[in-house]
Chains A and B, each alone.
Chain A
Amino acid sequence: MEITMLYYLIPSLVMFCCGVYGFITRRNMIAILISIELMLNAVDLNFVVFNRFLFPGQMEGMFFTLFAIAIAAAETALAIAIIINLFRVAKDVDVKDLSKMKF
C-alpha cells in the first residue's frame, strides 16, 4: 500500500469541517476561537503536504506555515485579551448575551 497525498489531505479536510461546524454552533467565545484554530491548523497541514509531495526540494509551503503559526499565535493572544476585557464588562462570554453593540 502506498501512502499518497490524498491520505494526508483527508484528515485535514475533516479537521477543517469540524472547525466550520464548531464555528457555527458554538456560543462560548473561547470555543469559537478553538474552532478557528482547528481551521487554521488544517490549512497549515495542507500547505505542508502540498509542499512535500509536489515540490520536495523547496521550502515555500513550510515557510508559509511557519509564518501562519506566528500570526495565529498573535491573533489568539489579542482575541483572548478582548474576551477577557468583555468578560470584565459584561460578566459573560456567551455571544448570545453580548448584543449591546449589535446594529
Chain B
Amino acid sequence: MESVGSIIMYFVIALTIILFSVLAVTTRKILRAATYLLFALFGTAAVYFQLDYEFLGAVQIAVYAGGIVVLFVFSILLTSHPGDNSEKLASRKRALGLVASLAMLGVAGWALLSRCLHLVDRPAMASLDMQQIGQTLMGTGHGEYLLPFEAVSVLLLACIIGGVVVARKR
C-alpha cells in the first residue's frame, strides 16, 4: 500500500507528462513546443526519481534539459522567427495524424489493459549506489558495459566531427 503523498505525486507527474506532451505537438509556436518538451522531459525525470533511479533522473535532467533542449532553442532562434505561428494544418493531414496516433493508442492501450491489469505492484529495491553503477558501467565481466561505453564514446567523437564538418561555413 502506497502512502497518500506518493499517490498524489504520481498523479501530478502523470498529468504533467500527458498534458505537456500533447501541448508540445499541438501548439503552433515552435519555441513554445520546445518549452513544453522540456516540461515533459522533467516529468519523465520525476518518474525516474520516484522509481528510485536517482542517477538516471540526474542524467535525464543534465543531458536533456541542459543539453538537448538548449540546442533546440538555439537552432529555433537561428532558423525561424520565434513569434510566428506555423501555418494552419490541412484538415486531411491532421485527420491522417489523428487516425494513426489514436489507432495506435487504442490498440496498444487495449493490449495493456487486457494483459497487464494483473501485474505485480512495485517490489522493494534498495536505491542503487554510485559504486555499483560505476562498476557495472566500467567492468568487462558478464553483464557489464565497458564495450558499449567505448562504442558510445566513439559515436560521440564521430558526432562532434560530423557536426563541425556539416555545419561549417564553406
> A interface vs B, CB < 8 Å?
1-22, 24-28, 30-31, 33-35, 37-38, 41, 44-45, 48-49, 52-54, 56-60, 62-63, 65-67, 69-78, 80-85, 87, 93
Q: In the complex, what residues of B have CB within 8 A of residue A78's CB? A: 159, 162-163, 166
| Partner pick for B167 among A3, A67, A85, A93, CB 8 A cutoff | A85
A30 neighbours in B (Cβ, 8 Å): 30, 34, 72, 75-76, 79-80
- What residues make up the interface of B, taking CB atoms closer than 8 Å to A? 1-2, 6-7, 10, 13-14, 17-18, 21-22, 24-25, 30, 33-34, 37, 40-41, 43-44, 47-48, 51-53, 56, 59-60, 63-64, 67-68, 71-72, 75-76, 78-80, 86-87, 89, 93-94, 96-98, 100-102, 104-105, 108-109, 112-113, 116-117, 119-125, 128, 132-133, 136-137, 143, 145, 148, 152, 155-156, 159, 162-163, 166-167
| Interface SS, B side | helix
Residues on B with beta carbons closer than 8 Å to the beta carbon of A83: 75, 79
Residues of B contacting A2 with CB < 8 Å? 1-2, 121
Smallest beta-carbon distance B81→chain A, Å: 12
Given contacts A38-B40, A48-B51, A53-B122, contact A69 B59 (CB under 8 A): yes
With a cutoff of 8 Å between Cβ atoms, the chain B residues found around residue A16 in the complex are 104
